Amino acid sequence: MRHLTAPLTEADVLSMHAGEHVLLSGTVYTARDAAHLRMMECIAQGKPLPFDLEGQVIYYAGPTPTPEGKPVGSIGPTTSTRMDASTPTLLAHGLRGMIGKGQRSENVMRAMQEHPAVYFAAVGGAAALMAACVTSCEVIAWDDLGPESVKRLTLQELPLVVAADAYGKDAFTLGQAEYLNTIK
């Protein structure tokens, strides 16, 4: 198991390979569909984003209401393909990592090679476990979006799998090929 700290450097990204297991700590930002639309509007209008994308990781999640005494409610990943239209632009602006579930489009995979980035898969259905890895949560933009507002999270050893790397490899395809080889 490999330990990483966000934000990520290009060297961090280039050292990771599809299928590798990691524990991610450090600062990441949440953003889902509505926040991605607003970020794209900001970029199109030449306005600043709520945070500098350089080296950052976006977690495709919208936490549930925060229970008393906890930094965040349950915080599981959402399906990443819903952000695929925005992702190449965000990668071109410095985004280095994404956390979600499911495969990515060919456009995203190409953009991750052009602008070295990594896509981490989080386990769907384990939102309460994920919440235990969040030590702080602060809304930093677009509070009107409720659970889809942009939040700054501090993570402590969030378990993830490198689902797609900067070399165009993805764990979904690799895992399927490995399985098919075992049943021949």
Catalytic center residues: 36
| Strands 2-6 and 150-164, bridge-based pairing | unpaired
Closest listed residue to residue 133, CA positions, set 38, 68, 184, 63: 63
C-beta neighbour count of 107 within 10 angstroms: 12
Three-state SS annotation for 125-173: CCHHHHHCCEEEEEEEECHHHHHHCEEEEEEEEEEEEEEECCCCCEHHH
Three-state SS annotation for 85-129: CCHHHHHHCCCCEEEEECCCCHHHHHHHHHCCCEEEECCCCCHHH
Is 24 strand, coil or helix?
strand
**Calpha distance 179→177 (Å, rounded):** 5
